Chains A and B, each alone.
Chain A
Amino acid sequence: MNERKQTPEPGDPTASDARWTDAACRLLDESADDLDAATLSRLNRARQAAIEAGRTRRASVWAWPALFAAAATCALALLVWPAAQAPLDSTPDSVIAAGDLDLLAADADLALYEDLEFYAWLDTQQSADG
């Protein structure tokens, strides 16, 4: 209980009131101390429920940011994973690059490939003559 008033304020009990107000407080204290067992049990249950409610609320206050952080991490992982996998895929550019590589690695003369159209025309001329 709070300490009963130390500094008198305007409107406070006068010195002559102090006797009966002190007696009234004593009687009220006694009435609060003399509550029956059933009432005390109800109060006890109410107190435990209130403490549990406060604990649950505090836990949920921490749970929401944690849940949000987990969700954000998953979303980020889903975005980053395909991007990291992309260079390994066979995109058209990579096919072209692989074809160029085969061409460069081949033993054949590069000039043959450059004049491929000329050789094709020459072949058609010879067929027509022959």
Chain B
Amino acid sequence: MPLATAVWTQTDRMPSAPVQAAERARALDRFLRGIERRALRIAELSTHHREDALELVQDAMLAFSRSYADKPEDEWTPLFHRVLDSRILDFHRRNQVRRRWRVWFGRSADDNEEDPLEQVADPSDPGPMLRMADGQTRAALDAALRALPLRQRQTFLLRIWEGLDVAQTAAAMGCSEGSVKTHLSRALSALRPRLEDLR
């Protein structure tokens, strides 16, 4: 085939830039639609407030769309969680600084916030799943997950719930694969006594 004809045929088959942009937007919509609810739940388990969680997810969506939407689609899930995870970490750092300032100025550290002690697992709890009705089981699961340290909770949610592999989880959390394994092992050890009756 003459070169000119070959080039013409190839160019003829290539979608134009507006078509490519529209396809990309549709793919991004599908991806975000598929991940947004779980992202909100992950953020909510870390922030304890839906409003804060919504803001984090909104920020994460915007940042992801601006910075990573041009990447291959099979990389989107760990990249999105990388953005969300960094937003969650920032949120916790800001809260810590705020709490310190309140302590320095002699005010109650958490007038409107939850007591950190509430996040510590109660060792005398005999196993809430045994005596909880279906509606309460979810709340008990939330409480068990919230009681975990942040990195352990993130590892459990990304590795077990989101189904990311070790490398993807490490990329999403910005840590080594060894750290992922350690965090997951500790998270399972902490959750097992509280959730092993879950069916």
Q: When the two chains form the complex, which single residue of A10, A21, A39, A53 contacts B66, counting CB atoms closer than 8 Å? A: A53
CB of A65 closer than 8 Å to a CB of B: no
B161 touches A25 (CB 8 A): yes
A39 touches B40 (CB 8 A): yes
Stretch at the interface among A40-48, A78-86, A104-112: A40-48
The complex places the Cα of A9 from the Cα of B168 at a distance, in Å, of 13
CB of A11 closer than 8 Å to a CB of B: yes
Stretch at the interface among B1-9, B95-103, B109-117, B189-197: B189-197
A4 touches B163 (CB 8 A): yes
Q: When the two chains form the complex, which single residue of A5, A21, A24, A46 contacts B165, counting CB atoms closer than 8 Å? A: A5
Contact residues of B: prevailing secondary structure? helix
Which residues does chain A contribute within 8 Å of B50, judged by CB atoms?
39
Give the contact-size bracket for chain A.
35 or more
A1 touches B38 (CB 8 A): yes
Chain B residue, CB-CB nearest to A59: B21
The complex places the Cα of A54 from the Cα of B26 at a distance, in Å, of 12
Q: When the two chains form the complex, which single residue of B32, B37, B185 contacts A11, counting CB atoms closer than 8 Å? A: B185
The complex places the Cα of A39 from the Cα of B192 at a distance, in Å, of 31
With A9-B181, A20-B198, A43-B54 as known contacts, state yes or no: A50 contacts B77, CB within 8 Å. Answer: no
B77 touches A20 (CB 8 A): no
CB of B164 closer than 8 Å to a CB of A: yes
Q: How many B residues face the partner with a CB closer than 8 A?
A: 53
Q: When the two chains form the complex, which single residue of B32, B162, B188, B198 contacts A50, counting CB atoms closer than 8 Å? A: B32
Nearest-Cβ distance from residue A32 to partner chain B, whole angstroms? 4
The complex places the Cα of A7 from the Cα of B18 at a distance, in Å, of 41
A30 touches B138 (CB 8 A): yes
Which residues does chain B contribute within 8 Å of A62, judged by CB atoms?
17
CB of A27 closer than 8 Å to a CB of B: yes
Q: When the two chains form the complex, which single residue of A1, A27, A50 contacts B64, counting CB atoms closer than 8 Å? A: A50
A20 touches B61 (CB 8 A): no
With A46-B61, A53-B66 as known contacts, state yes or no: A24 contacts B141, CB within 8 Å. Answer: yes
Provide a sorted-by-A list of 10 A–B residue pairs whose CB atoms are within 8 angstroms: A1-B162, A9-B165, A17-B192, A24-B195, A28-B157, A43-B36, A50-B32, A50-B65, A51-B65, A53-B62
Q: A11-B181, A11-B184, A39-B40 are in contact. List 17 more A-B contacts (CB 8 A).
A: A1-B34, A2-B77, A2-B164, A10-B181, A12-B159, A13-B160, A19-B198, A19-B199, A20-B196, A21-B160, A28-B141, A28-B157, A30-B138, A32-B37, A54-B28, A54-B69, A62-B17
